[in-house]
């Protein structure tokens, strides 16, 4: 049996987006550029970021789209080049990317998952916040600077000693 992913206008979506060269650290080295790219796109194509973690070579986030809106592909199609334009060129570029005038920074594809219910949402938020520990960057989720866990702690949604068994 095949699982069909439901796409829901105004839905909540979990994304994993990665660099083409997973040995790079561009996302954390250029976190200001990534934040600016997201702010710029959100100004014209609103969405709410419910949770997010940025690791050196990939990121995970959960977006809530506006009512009736399903157009997350356009948002990613704008965020990726907005970030890339702020980074000095130097990456290797395949012929197909060169012919399409694309940089070689991002993987073309990304993973998306439509959040089904509150339990699914909580599992994905926990996954996001625990991800830096899972990848061995820190011992505790709070120690990773590029995570929405800090907002959750400020808002008393989590405690500073929060952890989850992944």
Q: pLDDT value at position 98?
A: 43
- pLDDT for the residue numbered 2: 33
- For the question of whether the overall pTM of this predicted structure is more than 0.75, the answer is yes
DSSP states of the chain as a string?
Answer: -PPPPP--TT-EEEEEEEBSSTT--HHHHTHHHHHHHHHHHHHHS--EEEEEEE-SSEEEEEEEPPTT---HHHHHHHHHHHHHTTS-S-S---HHHHHTT--SSB-S--EEEE--SHHHHHHHHHHHHHHHHHTTS-SSGGG-SSBTHHHHHHTTSS-TT-----
Domains, in order of start, for the chain = 12-154 (3.30.70.1290)
Per-residue pLDDT of the chain (166 residues; tens, 9 = 90+): 333 456 788 899 999 999 988 888 999 999 999 999 999 999 999 999 999 999 999 999 999 999 999 999 999 999 999 999 888 666 565 555 445 555 568 998 999 999 999 999 999 999 999 999 999 999 999 999 999 999 999 999 999 999 865 4
Tokens 């702020």, residue? 86
Please, how many CA atoms are within 13 Å of residue 57, restricted to the half-sphere of its CB?
A: 10
In whole angstroms, what is the distance from residue 19 CA to residue 110 CA? 10
As a whole number of angstroms, the distance between CA 151 and CA 17 comes to 21
Q: pLDDT value at position 10?
A: 86
Q: What is the pLDDT of residue 4?
A: 43
How far from 64 is each of 14, 29, 75, CA to CA, in Å? Answer: 9, 27, 12
Q: Which two tokens stand for residue 103?
A: 């940089």
Check residue 87 and give its pLDDT: 85
CB 115 within 8 A of CB 13: yes
Please tell me the predicted confidence (pLDDT) of residue 157: 94
């Amino acid at each position: 049996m095949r699982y069909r992913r439901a796409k829901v206008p105004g839905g909540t979506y979990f994304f994993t987006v990665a660099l083409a060269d997973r040995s790079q650290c561009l996302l954390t080295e250029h976190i200001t550029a990534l934040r600016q790219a997201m702010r710029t796109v959100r100004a014209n194509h609103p969405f709410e970021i419910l949770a997010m973690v940025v690791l050196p070579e990939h990121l995970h986030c959960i977006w809530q789209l506006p009512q009736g809106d399903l157009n997350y592909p356009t948002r990613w199609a704008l965020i990726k080049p907005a970030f890339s334009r702020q980074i000095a060129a130097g990456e290797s570029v395949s012929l197909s990317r060169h012919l399409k005038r694309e940089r070689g920074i991002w993987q073309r594809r990304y993973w998306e998952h439509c959040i089904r219910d509150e339990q699914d949402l909580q599992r994905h938020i926990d996954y996001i916040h625990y991800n830096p520990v899972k990848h061995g960057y820190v011992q505790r989720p709070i120690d990773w600077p590029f995570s929405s866990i800090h907002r959750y702690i400020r808002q008393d949604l989590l405690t500073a000693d929060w952890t989850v068994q992944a």
